[in-house]
Structures are given as structure tokens and as C-alpha cells.
């Protein structure tokens, strides 16, 4: 009887350990890499980073009127603009961005991870 009780207590403790470890990673997601940039949408990396430059310029009223302002178009425009800024940074010797944090359809920032 003691062995059954001991096993039940161990199983109970083990289930609490599994449940508590799943809460540690709550809100964590895998980041998608597009054209060499990690893309964060309405999120920020958990790693330390520094802001390198602002990325803007999606407001294109023609696309807004034609309903072409899709999520893919916004992301691709931000990536295209960040690539231009990265090229300028490379040419001037400044650090290049590792990722883009997109806040809305006309504002994003290029960042560099500090751990690299």
C-alpha cells in the first residue's frame, strides 16, 4: 500500500513539474526569417538588441484604395526598405540589422542582436 501511495505522490509531483515548465515558455514563438531578416510583428525579441534605424514608407494610397495593402505587401515593403538601409549602413561601415520589428503598416525598426 505504501508503494502505491509513493508512486501516486511521485506522479502528482511530476505532473506539477511538467505544468510549471510549460508556463515558463508561455508567449514564446518561433520567428520567421525572410530575406535574411528575422521578422517580428507586434512583438520584440527576448534577446538584448539595439535599434539601428527606422523603416517607414508603406503608406501608398493607391494600394490602400485597391485593397492591395495585404500583410504580405506590408512585410515585403518593410523588408525592401530595410535592405536599402542595410546597404547604406554597410557602405558607411555602420552595423547591419539582423531583424525587423514591425509595429504597424507604416512604422518598423531595424535591430541588431547584441549577443552576436
- pLDDT, tens digit, 9 for 90 and up, residues 81-102: 889 988 888 888 888 999 999 8
Give Cα separations from 52 to 26, 32, 45, 55, 71 (angstroms).
Answer: 28, 20, 15, 10, 23
User: Would you say residue 79 lies in a domain?
Assistant: yes
User: Can you give the residue range of the structural domain that contains 60?
Assistant: 32-113
pLDDT at 64: 55
Split into its structural domains, the chain has a count of 1
For the stretch 4-44, pLDDT in tens is: 666 655 555 555 444 444 555 566 778 888 888 999 988 89
Asked whether residue 49 is assigned to any structural domain, the reply reads yes
pLDDT of residue 97: 92
Question: What is the Cα–Cα distance from 51 to 111, expressed in whole angstroms?
Answer: 5
d(CA 113, CA 80): 20
Residue 78 lies in a domain: yes
Q: Is residue 74 part of a domain?
A: yes
48 within some domain: yes
**Is residue 5 in some structural domain?**
no
Cβ atoms of 110 and 53 closer than 8 Å:
yes
> Cβ distance 79 to 34 under 8 Å?
yes
Between these two residues, 80 and 20, which has the higher pLDDT value? 80
Amino acid at each position: 500500500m505504501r508503494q502505491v501511495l509513493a508512486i501516486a505522490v511521485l506522479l502528482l509531483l511530476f505532473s506539477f513539474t511538467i505544468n510549471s515548465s510549460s508556463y515558463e515558455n508561455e508567449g514564446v514563438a518561433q520567428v520567421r526569417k525572410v530575406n535574411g531578416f528575422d521578422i517580428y510583428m507586434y512583438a520584440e525579441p527576448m534577446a538584448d538588441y539595439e535599434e539601428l534605424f527606422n523603416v517607414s514608407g508603406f503608406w501608398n494610397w493607391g494600394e490602400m484604395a485597391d485593397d492591395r495593402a495585404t500583410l504580405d505587401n506590408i512585410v515585403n515593403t518593410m523588408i525592401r526598405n530595410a535592405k536599402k538601409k542595410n546597404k547604406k549602413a554597410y557602405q558607411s561601415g555602420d552595423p547591419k540589422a539582423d531583424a525587423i520589428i514591425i509595429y504597424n503598416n507604416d512604422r518598423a525598426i531595424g535591430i541588431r542582436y547584441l549577443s552576436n
